[in-house]
Amino acid sequence: MDLRDRHVIITGGAGALGTAVVEALLAAGVTCHIPCFDAAEAERFALRTHDRVKLTVTGSLADEAAVAALYDGVAPLWASIHIAGGFAAGPLRDTTAATLRQQLDMNLVSCALCCRAAVKAMTGGGRGGRIVNVSARAGLEWRSGAGMVAYTASKAAVAALTAALAEEVAKDDILVNAVAPSIMDTPANRHSMPKADYALWPKVEEVAATILFLASPDNRVTRGAVVPVYGKS
């Protein structure tokens, strides 16, 4: 897959899935623009010295000014991939308003603001582009979200945002899609669930391959999809 000389923003690019996505994009010739919450996150990122990796310390992506500054600094923008988010477990009866707002900010508001900025950047030059969001299995299969209702609601909203926005911007040659992973095979998930059967979990490289296709010019017709990437789980 050849994406040479294209510029792509990857939020959450320094995380486990994000790193796999960045590695795949670099192999395809992309210049990767990765916002980090703080300098410590940027310093930890294993690919920070690559000549086609551009890191910025952005702070919260739920902040309109921070998102605007990020996207103003990238031109021309071909694709925007939104992996950044957060997780909170716990029954709704124990969930505070602060936790609910945090989940909405981290998962929905950040995604919506980045989508908005990407659409503005892509329509300005008439080139079109690709947007890929990250929902979750619970965002599609709501009953599986028992015990993590705030997270489930925020990821379901990402799925709905994806479908609605895809219809809104199709005329501008911007294809908007999302992936919905189940529990992925990451060191953090293995640590928190030591007795799980890891062989059933999708690998981050496998999820990254689906994201790469949706974000590529090879994807000419898929829009409004929320693609399950569950592996065998």
Q: Which domains does the chain have, with CATH numbers?
A: 7-229 (3.40.50.720)
Can you say whether the dihedral through the CA atoms of 189, 191, 197, 199 is positive or negative?
A: positive
The angle at the Cα of 214, spanning 19 to 201, to the nearest 5 degrees, equals 55
H/E segment holding residue 55: strand 53-57
Between the CA atoms of 137, 143, 148 and 153, what dihedral angle is there, to the nearest 10 degrees? 70
| Helix residue ranges per DSSP H, 28-186 | 39-44, 64-72, 97-103, 110-124, 137-140, 149-169
Q: Which residues of 197-223 are buried (b: 16+ CB within 10 A; e: fewer)?
A: eeeebbbbeebbebbbbbbbeebeeeb
Q: Which residues pair with 174 in a beta bridge?
A: 129
Strand pairing category for 174-181 and 226-229 = parallel
Q: What are phi and psi of 189, to 5 degrees?
A: -70, -35
Q: What are phi and psi of 183, to 5 degrees?
A: -60, 125
Can you say whether the dihedral through the CA atoms of 131, 134, 137, 138 is positive or negative?
A: negative
Q: What is the pLDDT of residue 36?
A: 98
* CA distances to 25, 103, 225 from 210, in Å: 12, 25, 12
Q: What is the pLDDT of residue 17?
A: 97
Q: What is the pLDDT of residue 233?
A: 87
The residue written with tokens 């990122």 in the block is: 45
pLDDT by residue for the chain (233 residues), tens only, comes to: 789 999 999 999 999 999 999 999 999 999 999 999 999 999 999 999 999 999 999 999 999 999 999 999 998 999 999 999 999 999 999 999 999 999 999 999 999 999 999 999 999 777 899 999 999 999 999 999 999 999 999 999 999 999 999 999 999 999 999 999 999 999 999 999 999 999 999 999 999 999 999 999 999 999 999 999 999 98
Q: What is the pLDDT of residue 146?
A: 98
Give the global pTM.
0.97
Alpha-carbon distance 23 to 144, whole Å?
Answer: 31
Between the CA atoms of 97, 102, 103 and 109, what dihedral angle is there, to the nearest 10 degrees? 120
Q: What is the pLDDT of residue 127?
A: 84
C-alpha of 72 from chain center: 19
